[in-house]
Amino acid sequence: MKFIDEVTLFATSGHGGAGCVAFRHEKFIEFGGPSGGDGGKGGDVIFEAVSGLSTLLELRHRPHQKAENGHNGMGKNRHGAGGDDLLIKVPVGTVVKDAETDDILADLTESGQRVILLKGGRGGQGNARFASATNKAPKFAQPGEEHEERKLRLELKLMADVGLLGLPNAGKSSLISKVSAARPKIADYPFTTMVPSLGVVPYKNYKSFVMADIPGIIEGANEGAGLGHRFLKHLERSGILLHLVDISWMPERDPRAEYESINHELALFSPELAAKEQIVVITKIDLPQTKAELPVIKAWFEGKGVKVFPISSATGEGVDPLLDEIARCLWGSPEEVW
């Protein structure tokens, strides 16, 4: 299924039904007596977060969403039926914004969470409602209230405990496929990962956490370079970030400069995102060139007060200590983890 994380909708609630002007035809009752019923309420537009969905693809093909209008009132004091509400189901993590003002109208972060964004118009009252001692035969009724309409922009932000961060080919997809059942594409060329993916990582004592893999980030991503600028928002909900660093390219490339460049991109995109806790992971330590350069790079990071976790997703070396560190960051002290 194609991954779509942004759509624009034109949503309209239901128009209220009109009240009815009618009279009974009964003997000895002046003018027959008013008997016009009320109109029904128009349907609301409701958004609901559903855990089984992972894309906004379906809504892209149906950009115009309209709730049912209320039915008009009828004679014999029969009220019109209310219009059916329109229930729009979206993935957990969907943010609904006003497309004109960019104001956030709803942030659906829990499965089953519902919010009414557009209320249907109230039905008009029939002429039976306006009968009085001085006006026993009112010949007027209320029209139904107008509907509401709004242009909405929906943005999906993945809900994950751990977000993977790094340059293209840093080993993010290999790691998530090693520790979870997620199977993103893995290849030896840049931007193999084209869309984000989620994986549930099992841990000890039946605990688990959700890991998110996004396309690689390059310099200028916040301004639209590469693919990562579209997907940086998926890291905003992550509890912690794993910053994967590939040093197998040394000395052709300097991983220290690349590490600082990516953090600079995060700060330009969102200061809150840049402030999230990071765990630095040196990948591909099964390669001879990585092993040769590891002491120098590790010393550089430790000189900055950053603890480094060398791993190999191919052999599994170092993966268990990394998972232990993730668990400590997510759940607290080792006593709580074990």
- In 3D space, the residue among 47, 266, 238 whose CA is nearest the CA of residue 159 turns out to be 238
- Rounded to 10 degrees, the C-alpha dihedral 301/303/307/311 comes to 40
- So where are the chain's domains? 6-156, 162-337
pLDDT of residue 250: 85
301 pLDDT band (50/70/90 cuts)? Answer: very high
Question: Residue 303: is its pLDDT beyond 70?
Answer: yes
- For domain 6-156, say whether CATH 3.40.50.1000 is its number: no
CATH no. of 162-337: 3.40.50.300
As a whole number, mean pLDDT of residues 135-161 equals: 92
236 pLDDT band (50/70/90 cuts)? Answer: confident
pLDDT of residue 336: 52
Q: How far is CA 53 from the centre of its chain?
A: 10
269 pLDDT band (50/70/90 cuts)? Answer: confident
160-195 pLDDT, tens digit per residue, is: 899 998 888 888 888 998 998 866 555 454 444 556
